[in-house]
Amino acid sequence: MKALLILISAWLISQMFFIDKNSVDVGFRPDRVLFFIIMTLFLISVMRKDIRISGLGGEEICMVIFTFLCSVSLIQSGANSDASEGQNKWLNALFNITYFPFLTYFIIKRIEYRKERAKVLLVALSSVGAYLGFTGICEHFRIDALVWPKYILDSSIKTHQDDRVTGPFLESVAMGRVLTVTLLCMLIMATEYNGIRRTILYVFAILAAGSIYFTYTRGPWIGFGVALLVILTLRTKMRRPGVLLLVAILIVGISGAGSKFSFFDEGTLFSRRQNTVDDRLASYATALKMGAENPLFGVGFGRFGAEWENYFTPIPGVLANPETMSHNTFLGILAESGLATLVFFLAILYQLLKMCFATYGKLDSAKTFERSLTAIALGLGLMYIATGFVSDLRWNLLQNNLVFLMFGVVASLAGRTRPTRSKIAHLRSPQMSFQSQGQADR
């Protein structure tokens, strides 16, 4: 089982270094090869009965239906024939938000939970966070000799042609979101260690937080803030380091040390780049119009940009010709695939968050590590939803996989917290239990 978890970790790590932000096929894809090996090993484990597959949960049924509806929508729309940005652009977008993250959840959920198994994944993700945090700082301060791979320094191939930190993703949004996930993994691992290892993890966590700031992108900031708020709210061992992070953020905000984030400077990032706000307002209005006029099936998966001119209506005071992107995962699904598809996607997220809340409530206070795990999944789930309102989640495979990986870990843990049938029978038939106990005493 450890070999399978190591392969999954390697698969996740490999996804950082595929350059194109849209995951367009340009040749050999190591992550696809690794995923094929993972599925093969998983099926072998199932046949050997090392892993047992029970029935699908309600959230998994919704995943199957959502995936089916999106797949049919893509086939009918014919959007995948668009080769303007490479081959299979929209097929990859479909796999990014359905097949890969849902299969990740399915596999992890069925690996019996053990603390040491969860640590294999968390150590790997902490290593990713350490690398991204260090690389982001070096990229920002132009310590070029320490930046790897070197393509990170090539501004001509980045999504944003400015001073934003993008890391190996070449995109600040993806960089910030993945940093948030891995930062939380470093914090939980820090609670498991003492001495030098804890200190090292805290140092890299600070670097990761700094790199999130240097993305200079509001979406990741909001997502990080939502995740941190959950950590501060729930009673886990992660609350203390979370408070320290909050104090550091308050100091930066009050002192004005961060020019892009200050409580008193009117020139902060939240008051700049008004054009991006205008883009989103126009896109939201256009998406709503598409959805309202095509409520059953939408305009077709991947057809938002192609249908833009047919539904766009200028908004007073807003840019007349913004980007033809949805900038909103939920409205994008509504516009392209219809209301029913959106309902199933929301049902998936609702059931997963509900599971996390229920699992957290059932865990004994002594299960400090498991309570922290559940808190991380809750924080990342809410981050996922919050950032989904301001961007299209289909363009970052790794973020989707990481979020559903953590949901899968909690689902596996939840299976361990459910009472067994014998315990249920005991609770339902106390008189019979007392009689049995009496016979045993005799």
Count of beta carbons in the 10 Å neighbourhood of residue 21 = 18
Classify residue 241: in a domain, yes or no. yes
Classify residue 192: in a domain, yes or no. yes
**Chain segment 296-320, per-residue pLDDT in tens:** 999 999 999 999 889 987 777 665 5
Mean pLDDT of the chain: 86
Distance CA 158, CA 161 (A): 6
Distance CA 343, CA 356 (A): 20
**Chain segment 375-407, per-residue pLDDT in tens:** 999 999 999 999 999 889 998 899 999 999 999
Classify residue 212: in a domain, yes or no. yes
Q: In 3D, which of 436, 425, 407, 438 has the Cα closest to residue 60? A: 407
pLDDT of residue 24: 44
Distance CA 362, CA 423 (A): 15
pLDDT of residue 431: 45
Classify residue 142: in a domain, yes or no. yes
First to last CA, the chain: 45
Give the residue numbers spanning the domain of 210. Answer: 2-53+98-272+365-424
**Chain segment 237-267, per-residue pLDDT in tens:** 999 888 888 887 777 666 555 555 554 455 5
Exposure string (b/e) for 171-182, b if CB count within 10 Å is 16 or more? bbbbbbbbbbbb
pLDDT of residue 271: 47
In the block, tokens 């984030």 appear at 261
Query: How many domains does the chain contain in total?
Result: 1
Question: Which helix or strand (DSSP H or E) is residue 365 part of?
Answer: none
Classify residue 149: in a domain, yes or no. yes
Classify residue 305: in a domain, yes or no. no
Classify residue 77: in a domain, yes or no. no
pLDDT of residue 377: 97
Residue 276 has pLDDT above 90, yes or no: no
**Chain segment 118-158, per-residue pLDDT in tens:** 999 999 999 999 999 999 999 999 999 999 999 899 888 88
Distance CA 42, CA 237 (A): 33
Classify residue 322: in a domain, yes or no. no
pLDDT of residue 162: 73
Query: What confidence tier does 19 reach under pLDDT thresholds 50, 70, 90?
Result: low
Q: Which residues pair with 250 in a beta bridge?
A: none
